[in-house]
Amino acid sequence: MPSTVEGDPLAGWRLAQAPFYRPVAGEVRAFEAAAAARLPVLLTGPTGCGKTRFVEHMAWRLGRPLVTLACHEDLTAGDLAGRWLLDADGTRWQDGPLALAARHGAICYLDELVEARSDALVVIHPLADSRRVLPLERRGELLQAHPDFLLVASYNPGYRGLHKALKPSTRQRFTTLAFGYPDPDTETAIVAGESGVDPLLAGRLVALGLRTRRLQADGLEEGASTRLLVHAARLVQAGLPARAACLQAVAAPLADDPDLQAVLADLVHAAFE
């Protein structure tokens, strides 16, 4: 059975070291204001642009534990709030991650919130408005959130053909920060910093990434994220030639369609002749 340090039940969720993060605009100040005002924060933007890293950075900066949950269609309200476990002595209540974070003052980060089921979405409503409570119906407890508790969620509104959207009653409970890709200089610094390659190679990878993002007008679902460029750089550090690394880490993951694949391979070949 899980054992937790009695003095700090969230010890396992405290970041052991400072995550690498380069602030882009006023997002740190905006997040700090929301935390001070105890208002939930929604981060919007494309895959791999650094939303998760930013939350880790802010958790480190504010000195709070971070409980992260990837949302999906089968995540139930019970998974979030908690449940009764059967024990040798009967049943025993186990706080779910949301209850744990609310009770002990952590940041609770719900990744890809729109993927959650409706019951998981409404369970956060009373936590996300001025009441700041989590009704644990099955336990018969109305949990009042810790003053340091902060609700953060992410949401990618850009998928083409996505039919799911957040309802206004959920959306309007969050203050919202929009993320995009970093500017080229910042992105080059990130790629170099996360992989250890030299800035020159990092800059060429970033230039390649920019070219793939322009293909979105030609039918590509999403361009290369910063993450993909870091992947390519790390493969180079592991000994692969840059061209092979980019095909494996950038071109192949972006599309299945043979025509788009050919265009992407051409971009890679042009970038690393």
Least separation in angstroms between residue 192's CB and a second copy is: 15
Among 22, 61, 117, 211, binds a second copy (CB under 8 A): 117
Sign of the torsion angle spanned by Cα atoms 228, 232, 233, 234? positive
Among 142, 200, 262, 270, binds a second copy (CB under 8 A): 142
B/e letters for 17-36, b = 16+ CB within 10 Å, e = fewer, are eebebeebeebeeebeebbe
| 216 in contact with a second copy (CB under 8 A) | no
Least separation in angstroms between residue 83's CB and a second copy is: 8
Short-list 215, 211, 271, 214, CA closest to 244: 271
| 173 in contact with a second copy (CB under 8 A) | yes
Among 176, 189, 193, 216, binds a second copy (CB under 8 A): 176
- Looking at residues 233 to 262 of the shown chain, list those that interact with a second copy (rule: CB under 8 A): 234-235, 237-240, 244-245, 248-249, 252-254, 256
Query: Residue 111 or residue 188: which is nearer to a second copy going by CB?
Result: 111
| 106 in contact with a second copy (CB under 8 A) | no
- Looking at residues 1 to 60 of the shown chain, list those that interact with a second copy (rule: CB under 8 A): 1-2, 4, 12-13, 26, 29-30, 32-34, 36-37, 39, 42, 44, 47-48, 52
| 169 in contact with a second copy (CB under 8 A) | yes
| 105 in contact with a second copy (CB under 8 A) | no
Among 5, 7, 17, 88, binds a second copy (CB under 8 A): 88
Among 171, 211, 213, 243, binds a second copy (CB under 8 A): 171
Query: Residue 170 or residue 188: which is nearer to a second copy going by CB?
Result: 170
| 152 in contact with a second copy (CB under 8 A) | no
Which one of the spans 145-153, 180-188, 203-211, 228-236 is the region binding a second copy (CB under 8 A)? 228-236
Phi, psi of 88 (to 5 degrees): -60, -30
Distance separating alpha carbons of residues 46 and 26, to the nearest angstrom: 19
